[in-house]
Structure 1
């Protein structure tokens, strides 16, 4: 009886260890990293929606349009510096609004804003908010890289 109980306990412990080893620290770090990016992205979107009176889709799409313009104007290394330092700027091209816009043939920022239901003059209102966000997140050097690209 003792041997059977010992065997059952041993097998149970081995099964538990197997499920513990299934835990992947890398996956956990990616999940935490992704959530901090979403928080940063959410912070920027909140600033834009509250200051400009626009929807979150318009904020995300407008940011993505400006960041796509910046990306095409910058060296890859510079763009990576900006998005690494200001994670909220990285997620812009992932959103649904930009998915729709990307089907258009390389829209200008003004065309993208119009497609999102905003006047092209809103670009001038987005820019300082995004630059302020970039400076707070990454410092003056990051803000200047982005300012040059806009």
Structure 2
């Protein structure tokens, strides 16, 4: 999951950074960076049970599953109380690395930032309502407490 989160963050930050570059001058560099991030995310996405679940259940790529899950988990890491944050960290390998990864993203502090992250990887922000139940199911199947699941639901689906 650490690789998944880092790759998600690299993709999210590199896509916005590359949007402002002179792509005509540096097309080889741009292509190389894009290919590197894409290859890295492809291998990470295929090795994560959570991203495999998301990409199997939703009409999205492994890279989009990785980025979407990373954005939602980053938001959770910022908003959960300590007891639930610790539980989530223990359930998803690499969650403890989110604090460093959030610096790359500029921090995902609210649902609007998650929506922006979804947009950056070609996902409609309305898909948050499809991602969240699948991630909650994954965590529930892994033995997550009702308190954690309820807190995550309130963070990710506040109007439900």
Q: How would you bin the TM-score normalised by the shorter chain?
A: 0.5 to 0.7
Deviations 1:68-123 (A, max 9, x none): 11122112332111221x225838959x9x897x1688671110000011111111
Q: How many residues align?
A: 109
TM-score by length of structure 1 reads 0.59
Preserved contact between residue 82 and residue 146 of structure 1 (Cα < 8 Å): no
Deviation at 1:56, TM superposition (A): 1.2
Q: 1:118 to 1:50 in 2, by over 3 A?
A: same
The ranges of structure 1 where at least 4 consecutive aligned residues each deviate by more than 6 angstroms after the TM superposition are 104-107
> Which protein is richer in helix relative to its size?
1
Alignment of 1:57-72 (within 5 A): 57-72=63-78
Larger Rg: 1
- Aligned CA RMSD, in angstroms, stands at 3.4
Q: 1:47 to 1:80 in 2, by over 3 A?
A: same
Preserved contact between residue 87 and residue 144 of structure 2 (Cα < 8 Å): no
Q: How far apart, in 2, do the equivalents of 1:108 and 1:58 lie?
A: 16
1:73 aligned residue: 79
TM-score by length of structure 2 reads 0.55
Q: Structure 1: where are the runs of 5+ without partners?
A: 1-33
Alignment of 1:1-150 (within 5 A): 42-84=48-90, 86-87=91-92, 90=95, 93=98, 102=105, 108-141=113-146, 142-150=148-156
